[in-house]
């Protein structure tokens, strides 16, 4: 498969008088191959937007190599720009224009045949509402109009920063269906998000960033499998006796208020047989599979704890700062 986006060792530090030096991206790597729907995940402030802006030449990187569709970025970006659709900064539309007029204007400005306008309106599901003024649109409709504008030139690569941000569940579902249909049409999609469940449903590949560094990447199913501890939730009438029996059989078991968790077991028959042979019948046996949310929370250290406000990613640590646990996390990378 050919590489559509290649980033290696990207670095970007912001300097401001008020906040001083801020390492936003700290040696970040990303590989997106043709045909992927690639999720770019990270907590707020972890460096996603800065990475996408650097990739598209909107901000100057301090170091690293970037290529888009084989062209070095930003130097040779203009050569491939016509094949890339991107929405990184929320586009501002004229409120008094209709969606159709907006897209016609953009098509003419971009040298795209205006016949594309109805096609993209149809693609994003706005054809029926295309004669309404944009100021009356919901957030979801505005997001879809933004995607429509990026699709005008029939891009091979679509880059979207937080396309589902602020959408209600129905809007997110529509966005998901749209991404799927684009992918089926052969478009490679890179989308950044912190809506993990959606990424799990939409994307086949994922890269997770925390504090400006990649903490894991690979196929979504492989990333999840890497965190699978083969755990089972078990309910029985006599949990204390069950703990004893399972422990005696050499199984790792943890007691919770209303259930047990047995870890490291591939075949659940082992659990039911161990208990059943001693006359203890299993009432419930449920596999506990990791989801992207738990992986993300573990890798980015943003797992909520009672009484502790939810943590956002701070700026990446500078060379003199202590980077807590990141090396350990890096070791958990899953190769694509």
Q: Between residues 44 and 254, which has the closer beta carbon with respect to ligand ATP?
A: 44
| Residue of 274, 246, 270, 249 whose CA lies nearest to 260 | 246
Q: Between residues 100 and 329, which has the closer beta carbon with respect to ligand ATP?
A: 329
Q: Between residues 16 and 115, which has the closer beta carbon with respect to ligand ATP?
A: 16
The interface region with ligand ATP, picked from 16-24, 92-100, 244-252, 299-307 by CB under 6 A, is 16-24
* Residue 24 sits in the site that holds ligand ATP (CB under 6 A): yes
User: Which stretches of 124-276 are DSSP H helices?
Assistant: 139-151, 169-184, 196-202, 220-226, 239-248, 269-276
Of 16, 96, 115, 331, which one interacts with ligand ATP (CB under 6 A)? 16
Q: Between residues 16 and 92, which has the closer beta carbon with respect to ligand ATP?
A: 16
- Side-chain-side CA neighbours of 216 within 13 Å: the count stands at 26
Q: Between residues 2 and 16, which has the closer beta carbon with respect to ligand ATP?
A: 16
Count of residues touching ligand ATP (by CB under 6 A): 14
* Residue 14 sits in the site that holds ligand ATP (CB under 6 A): yes
Backbone angles phi and psi of 133, in degrees to 5 = -70, 140
CB of 50 to ligand ATP, least distance (A): 3
* Residue 22 sits in the site that holds ligand ATP (CB under 6 A): yes
Query: How do 231-235 and 205-210 pair as beta strands?
Result: unpaired
| Helices and strands (DSSP H and E) totals, the chain | 12, 14
* Residue 156 exposed, middle or buried by CB count within 10 Å (0-12, 13-18, 19+): middle
Which element (helix H / strand E) includes 329?
helix 326-330
| CA distance linking residue 247 with residue 234, whole number of Å | 14
> x/- string (CB under 6 A) for ligand ATP, residues 34-73?
--------x-xxxxxxx-----------------------
Contacts of ligand ATP in 190-209 (CB under 6 A)? 194
Q: Which residues bind ligand ATP (CB under 6 A)?
A: 14, 16, 22, 24, 42, 44-50, 194, 315
């Amino acid at each position: 498969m050919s590489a559509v986006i290649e980033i290696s060792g990207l670095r970007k530090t912001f300097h401001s008088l008020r906040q001083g030096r801020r390492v936003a991206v700290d040696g970040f790597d990303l590989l997106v191959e043709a045909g992927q729907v690639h999720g770019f995940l990270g907590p707020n402030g972890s460096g996603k937007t800065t990475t996408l802006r650097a990739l598209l030449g909107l901000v100057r990187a301090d170091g690293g190599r970037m290529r888009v569709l084989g062209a070095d970025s930003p130097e040779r970006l203009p050569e491939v720009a016509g094949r890339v659709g991107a929405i990184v900064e929320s586009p501002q539309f004229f409120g008094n224009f209709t969606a159709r007029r907006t897209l016609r204007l953009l098509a003419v400005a971009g040298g795209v045949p205006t016949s594309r306008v109805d096609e993209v309106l149809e693609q994003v599901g706005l054809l029926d509402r295309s004669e309404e003024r944009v100021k009356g649109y919901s957030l979801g409709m505005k997001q879809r109009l933004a995607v429509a504008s990026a699709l005008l030139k029939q891009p091979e690569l679509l880059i979207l920063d937080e396309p589902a941000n602020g959408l209600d569940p129905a809007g997110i579902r529509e966005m998901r269906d749209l991404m799927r249909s684009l992918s089926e049409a052969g478009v490679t999609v890179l989308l950044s998000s912190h809506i993990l469940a959606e990424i799990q449903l939409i994307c086949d590949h994922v890269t997770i960033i925390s504090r400006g560094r990649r903490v894991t990447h690979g196929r979504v199913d492989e990333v999840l499998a890497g965190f699978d501890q083969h755990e089972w939730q078990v309910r029985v009438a006599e949990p204390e006796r069950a703990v004893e029996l399972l422990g005696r059989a050499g199984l790792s078991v943890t007691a919770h208020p209303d259930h047990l968790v047995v870890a490291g077991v591939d075949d659940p028959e082992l659990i039911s047989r161990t208990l059943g042979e001693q006359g203890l019948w299993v009432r419930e046996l449920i596999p506990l599979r990791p989801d992207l949310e738990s992986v993300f929370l573990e890798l980015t250290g943003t797992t909520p704890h009672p009484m502790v406000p939810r943590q956002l990613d701070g700026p990446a640590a500078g060379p003199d700062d202590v980077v807590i646990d990141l090396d350990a996390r890096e070791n958990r990378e899953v190769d694509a």
